[in-house]
Amino acid sequence: MAKVLGVGGVFFKCADPVAVRDWYRRVLGFEITDFGGALFQPLPVGVTVWSPFEAETKYFAPSTAATMINFVVDDIDGLLAQAEAEGAHALGRDDQGGIGRFAWLMDPAGMKIELWQPG
Q: For the residues 9-16, what does the mean pLDDT come to?
A: 88
Task: Tell me the C-alpha distance between 90 and 112, whole Å.
Answer: 10
Q: What is the pLDDT of residue 114?
A: 94
Q: What is the pLDDT of residue 45?
A: 79
CA 114 to mean position of chain CA atoms = 5
Residue 72 and residue 118 in contact, taking contact as beta carbons nearer than 8 Å: yes
Q: What is the DSSP string of 68-79?
A: EEEEEES-HHHH
> Which residue has better confidence, 96 or 56?
56
Q: What is the pLDDT of residue 98?
A: 82
Q: What is the pLDDT of residue 56?
A: 93
Of 83, 72, 77, nearest to 105 by C-alpha is 83
Structural domains of the chain in order of their starting residue, each with its CATH number: 4-118 (3.10.180.10)
**pLDDT digit string, tens, across residues 24-45:** 888 777 999 999 999 987 777 7
Q: What is the pLDDT of residue 40?
A: 85
- Count CA within 13 A, CB hemisphere, residue 112: 23
Task: Tell me the C-alpha distance between 42 and 55, whole Å.
Answer: 29
**pLDDT digit string, tens, across residues 60-118:** 999 999 999 898 988 999 989 988 888 889 999 998 778 899 999 888 878 898 999 99
- Which DSSP letter does residue 32 get? B
Q: Considering all CA atoms of the chain, what is the largest pairwise distance in Å, rounded to the nearest integer?
A: 45
Q: What is the pLDDT of residue 110?
A: 81
